[in-house]
Structure 1
Amino acid sequence: MENHFQKKPRILCLHGFRTSAKIMEQQVGKWPESVLGKLDLVFLDAPFPAEGKSNVEGIFDPPYFEWFQSNQDFSEYRNFEECLAYLEDFMIKHGPFDGLLSFSQGAILSAALPGIQLDGAALMKVPKIKFVIIIAGAKFGGNKFGLPKLAANAFSSPIQTPSLHFIGEMDFMKEEGTALLASFVDPVVMQHPKGHTVPRLDEKAVETLLDFIEKIQKMPSQKA
């Protein structure tokens, strides 16, 4: 029992729009060791090369990737099905994973995944996602983003999966990230003063995150 409690949650990390696994690793790498030491983090590049300019050019080196593509007003999506197949394949080969830690486009995707999985639309060959940590996320089918076909029922009932949401005071996605909270049962919310970024953690944020991790560790262990 003791060993089970101490097992680090294995977490798949999904990066933001037109960035990369390496970039997200650097962003999360600024978190204190008191948090990072308790997590087994795996960073994955999205399946598709960026189709346009990245906002992080000049800050982080290329290559840059994106999880899926859409038209200008986010009403139609391309490559969403392929993205889910790519994720599932990686989870089968490198899992099992306990949960997801994601930012921006990766967070929009991972917020929908528990519902997509519950609906039986995808990720049926891998264990149930036990929790999500969402940084600067949003909701498919909300005010800004349309609903991809495979995510049609993702938010049709409240999501029971434990969730932790980072919301930035200056983030242009703040409204979307706040609206997403209503789709989750008992979401844990962490406000921070910054914009659209993976924030550094202050003392209070570290405490909240460690509490969340402790609750996760007490959940039943995944089977391969």
Structure 2
Amino acid sequence: MERDTNNLRKCCTDETMAQKLKVLAIHGYRQNAETFRAKTGSFRKMVHKWAQFTYITAPHKVILVDDTNDLNNESEPDIGQSKDEEQYGWFFNRDDKTFRGIRKGGPAIGFEESVKFIESVFEKEGPFDGILGFSQGACFVGLLCDLQQRGLINFRFNFAIMSSGFKSGSLPHLKYYTDRINLASLHIFGENDNIIPTEMSEALSNCFDEPIVVRHPGGHYLPAAAVQKPDYQKFFKLQLLQKQYGEQYMEKGGFI
């Protein structure tokens, strides 16, 4: 027990933590910070040497409805949704304050408030090197990437990871995605995802310059099997090297 405590102290000192990438984790629709953290435990273990994650809960509570088609969980028993009253979302794309990723048209209720919320998180808990998003969270991350490129947000991040992501079909968001986004990006999606079809995730990845794509044979989840491990670790290693190189360059009086 004493040995484990010593190892914990050694790996979690201020010095070693400062060497890791700080990543903000954005959950999916009907999830919260706790459920998303639980669902991504294996993923975190794969990259814990290079990254630490901060999980947050969206500001908008999901209204439970009887129409299961609006709950985004048909044909798949467990996609990581939270239980009962602890379900949250980043915005809604119908006036009854529900959301479905495959919807086209409609509003983006609560989107601006969520952007302001992320700004406050960066101010209080940041800076963050990158952002990880799943499903609606990945859609939201994609929009944040576009906003950053346009200079419309007051915080910055250097990479984005989008699992089961897609382009928002909300009418207020159609003005985005017009220019390719110059940002390091990792896109993860399943070939048998019956919540967000593969072509929707591909369309989001095509919005980025030189996107890195990881396909898996499964459905609507962030996979963490041995076959994905090399791709994940390679991506995080590269981002950390670029961060460290940039910091050393600035210390020597260079300009980036």
Match of 1:21 among 33, 55, 62: 33
Instruction: Give the alignment's TM-score, normalised by structure 1.
Output: 0.84
Choose between structure 1 and 2: higher helix proportion: 2
- Specify every segment of 5 or more residues in structure 1 that has no aligned partner in the other structure, as ranges: none
Per-residue deviation, 1:104: 0.3
Partner of 2:87: 64
CA RMSD of aligned residues (A): 2.6
Partner of 2:202: 178
Match of 2:181 among 138, 141, 159: 159
Per-residue deviation, 1:74: 4.3
- Between structure 1 and structure 2, the one with the greater Rg is 2
The 1-side partners of 2:92 and 2:46 are apart by 36
Per-residue deviation, 1:201: 2.4
Per-residue deviation, 1:220: 3.5
Instruction: Give the alignment's TM-score, normalised by structure 2.
Output: 0.74
Counterparts in 2 of 1:217 and 1:138: CA distance versus 1, 3 Å: same
Match of 1:139 among 153, 167, 176: 167
After TM superposition, what 4+ stretches of structure 1 lie above 6 angstroms from structure 2?
A: none
Q: Indicate the SS of the match to 2:120.
A: helix
**Higher relative contact order, chain-length normalized (CA < 8 Å, sep 6+):** 1
Instruction: Report matched runs for 1:57-96 at 5 Å.
Output: 60-62=82-84, 63-71=86-94, 73-75=103-105, 76-96=107-127
Counterparts in 2 of 1:101 and 1:58: CA distance versus 1, 3 Å: closer
The 2-side partners of 1:58 and 1:161 are apart by 28
Instruction: Report matched runs for 1:1-224 at 5 Å.
Output: 7-31=19-43, 33-53=45-65, 54=71, 55=73, 60-62=82-84, 63-71=86-94, 73-75=103-105, 76-121=107-152, 123-124=153-154, 126=155, 128-140=156-168, 145-148=169-172, 152=175, 154-172=176-194, 173=196, 174-202=198-226, 204-220=227-243
More displaced, 20-29 or 64-73?
Answer: 64-73
The 2-side partners of 1:36 and 1:147 are apart by 38
Residue 32 of structure 1 contacts residue 201 of structure 1 at CA under 8 Å; is this kept in 2?
no
Residue 187 of structure 2 contacts residue 211 of structure 2 at CA under 8 Å; is this kept in 1?
yes
Per-residue deviation, 1:61: 3.5
The 1-side partners of 2:118 and 2:131 are apart by 11
- Specify every segment of 5 or more residues in structure 2 that has no aligned partner in the other structure, as ranges: 1-14, 66-70, 248-256
Residue 81 of structure 2 contacts residue 87 of structure 2 at CA under 8 Å; is this kept in 1?
no
Residue 80 of structure 1 contacts residue 148 of structure 1 at CA under 8 Å; is this kept in 2?
no
The 2-side partners of 1:135 and 1:210 are apart by 16
Deviations 1:52-92 (A, max 9, x none): 25545997534111111111744221111111011111111
